């Protein structure tokens, strides 16, 4: 029996039943023309600062929908669907013509000039202003267009997993993330406005569209969350201590380009929260993050160091444009099994050479993942993507059977078998379906195809049953969120500059037990 088998055998049905998941899903608001909606966050959706389920991400035009923590994929799917239903109903009620819709692709709709894309606004409180200033900094550092890329974050936990074991999982996830990009990547094409004025390797297709013929997830490739500054980071995931040290360095080391930009411009307006390589922890991009629920005013890195890893956040999932809410319960179940496989498998320490190799594999898969015969690199040796994928999926089968036995179902095994079938028929993968739909129905136009699919999604959600009780519950949540925002604003007494200086202080990153030790 291998160590993986032994670890699986040690997972009791009770622990497997304790698996939890939740979703954060971003979507741009778009117009019937396929252009970005530039209106403020719709008032009926509540306060973007304080609403527990509806907020904005980078832009005022980018809605983020959030579920609670759920014991099953079905329950998670039910909540994200219900939140979508309310959002669409609220947007439809605002405009009888139904002008605005949620864009169903990860790659953005038609974008205006960079400076015209509106930043998220969160009111006059210090915490609200800090959120907007942080976004201003992102715009300066990476460009606003890049920030309009949308995705799904999948938050996952299992009882009894230590911080060390979560980092074992994270290292294996990073090694095998190419499989998720291949299976679920759905962004092989973009609107030409996204890359206007930028160097790229995309090929033109149709009028105003660009693509990679075998692309899977351009969002996770060189067009996505990339920067020269972050390319200088080589973060190790061998331990919580090493990861935290790497992140602290990036959060406290001034970066020349950002230092030259300055905290404020000559007119006194804020350019960014800090001149360091990262303004705050969330600026660090990656396919997966270790996470810990933070307390009010607490820095995420401090929470991790103080109380350890609580769950992981999977960040490489594209929106599925063929599903009204961007993800299916079957996809969630596959991610559950994939994460268990990453947790249960042997996970040797990473090295700088392997970190570089993983970045190479990610970019290759994003741009050419469906290319016949595509070869990745594993420990310095060539391996065919399809062969490596087959190994992982075969290893996932007994894990799926164990979870099904604990749940009294066959749904997890079916999710893995569906992934195997998709790898055998790459034309059925979401990225291939996007290009095929563009070609067969929309003259190879990315915007026209996504615009039509967005209408299909909206109509499907509006056609679902909706009760007065559901409407009243969401309206009450919106009212409460505005009241909470006002309470926060009324309680503020500290000048914003002092608040900012205190928040970005290196002292806030260190747990009390370490801060007490003399240097």
Other residues' Cβ atoms within 10 Å of the Cβ of residue 467? 8
Query: Residue 442: phi, psi to the nearest 5?
Result: -130, 25
- The packing angle between helices 329-344 and 3-10, to 10°, is 120
Concatenated DSSP letters of 366-391 = HHHTTSTT-EEEETTEEEEHHHHHHH
Q: Tens-digit pLDDT profile for the chain (519 aa)?
A: 568 889 999 999 999 999 999 999 999 999 999 999 999 999 999 999 999 999 999 999 999 999 999 999 999 999 999 999 999 999 998 875 568 999 999 999 999 999 999 999 999 999 999 999 999 999 999 999 999 999 999 999 999 999 999 999 999 999 999 999 999 999 999 999 898 888 888 999 988 999 999 999 999 998 876 677 777 787 889 999 999 999 999 999 999 999 999 999 999 999 999 999 999 999 998 899 999 999 988 999 999 999 999 999 999 999 999 999 999 999 999 999 999 999 999 999 999 999 999 999 999 999 999 999 999 999 999 999 999 999 999 999 999 999 999 999 999 999 999 999 999 999 999 999 999 999 999 999 999 999 999 999 999 999 999 999 999 999 999 999 999 999 999 999 999 999 999 999 999 988 765 544 333
Say which residue the tokens 């001149």 belong to.
Answer: 275
* Number of neighbours of residue 189 by Cβ within 10 angstroms: 28
The answer to whether residues 217 and 139 touch, using CB atoms and an 8 Å cutoff, is: no
Closest among 162, 508, 506, 516 to 302, alpha carbons compared = 508
The predicted pLDDT at position 511 comes to 76
Class of domain 3-510: alpha beta
pTM: 0.96
Which residues have C-beta within 8 Å of that of residue 463, sequence separation ≥ 6? none
- Helix H, strand E, coil C: the string for 251-313 is HHCECHHHHHHCCECCCCCECCCCCECCCCHHHCCCCEEEECCCCCCCCHHHHHHHHCCCEEE
Backbone angles phi, psi at 305, to 5 degrees: -70, -35
Q: Are 250 and 276 in contact (CB under 8 A)?
A: yes
pLDDT of residue 132: 98
Q: Of 319, 315, 317, whose CA–CA distance to 450 is shortest? A: 319
């Amino acid at each position: 029996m291998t160590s993986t088998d032994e670890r699986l055998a040690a997972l009791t049905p009770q622990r497997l039943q304790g698996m939890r998941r939740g979703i954060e899903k971003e979507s741009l608001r778009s117009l019937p023309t396929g252009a970005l909606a530039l209106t403020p966050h719709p008032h009926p959706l509540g306060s973007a600062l304080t609403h527990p389920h509806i907020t904005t991400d980078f832009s005022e035009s980018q809605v983020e929908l959030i579920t609670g923590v759920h014991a099953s994929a079905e329950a998670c799917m039910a909540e994200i669907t219900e939140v979508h239903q309310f959002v669409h109903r609220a947007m439809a009620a605002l405009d009888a013509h139904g002008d605005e819709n949620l864009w169903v692709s990860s790659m953005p709709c038609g974008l205006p000039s960079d400076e015209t894309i509106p930043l998220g606004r969160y009111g006059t409180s210090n915490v609200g202003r800090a959120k907007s200033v942080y976004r201003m900094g992102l715009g300066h550092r990476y460009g606003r267009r890049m920030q309009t890329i949308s995705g799904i974050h999948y938050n996952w936990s299992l009882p009894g997993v230590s911080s060390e074991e979560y980092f074992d999982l994270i290292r294996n996830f990073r090694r095998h993330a190419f499989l998720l990009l291949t299976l679920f990547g759905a962004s092989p094409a973009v609107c030409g406005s996204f890359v206007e004025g930028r160097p790229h390797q995309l090929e033109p297709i149709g009028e105003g569209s660009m693509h990679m013929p075998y692309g899977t997830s351009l969002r996770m490739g060189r067009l996505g969350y990339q920067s020269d500054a972050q390319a200088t980071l080589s973060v190790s995931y061998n331990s919580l201590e090493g990861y935290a040290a790497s992140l602290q360095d990036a959060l406290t080391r001034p970066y020349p380009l950002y230092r030259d930009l300055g905290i404020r411009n000559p007119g006194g307006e804020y350019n960014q929260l800090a001149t360091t390589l990262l303004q705050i922890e969330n600026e660090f991009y990656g396919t997966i993050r270790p996470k810990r629920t933070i307390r009010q005013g607490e820095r995420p890195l401090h929470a991790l160091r103080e109380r350890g890893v609580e769950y992981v956040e999977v960040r490489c999932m594209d929106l599925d444009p063929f599903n009204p809410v961007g993800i299916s319960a079957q996809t969630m179940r596959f991610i559950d099994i994939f994460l268990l496989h990453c947790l249960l498998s042997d996970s040797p320490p990473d090295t700088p050479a392997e970190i570089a190799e993983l970045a190479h594999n990610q970019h290759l898969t994003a741009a050419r993942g469906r290319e016949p015969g595509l070869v990745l690199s594993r420990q310095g040796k060539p391996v065919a993507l399809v062969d490596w994928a087959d190994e992982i999926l075969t290893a996932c089968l007994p894990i799926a059977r164990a979870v099904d036995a604990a749940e009294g179902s066959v749904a997890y095994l079916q999710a893995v078998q569906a992934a195997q079938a998709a790898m055998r028929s790459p034309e059925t993968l979401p990225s291939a379906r996007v290009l095929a739909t563009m070609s067969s129905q929309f003259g190879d136009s990315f915007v026209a195809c996504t615009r039509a699919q967005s209408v299909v999604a909206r109509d499907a959600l509006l056609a679902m049953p909706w009760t007065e009780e559901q409407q009243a519950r969401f309206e009450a949540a919106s009212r409460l969120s505005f009241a909470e925002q006002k309470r926060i604003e009324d309680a503020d007494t500290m000048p914003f500059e002092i608040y900012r200086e205190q928040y970005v202080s290196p002292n806030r990153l260190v747990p009390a037990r370490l801060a007490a030790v003399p240097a």
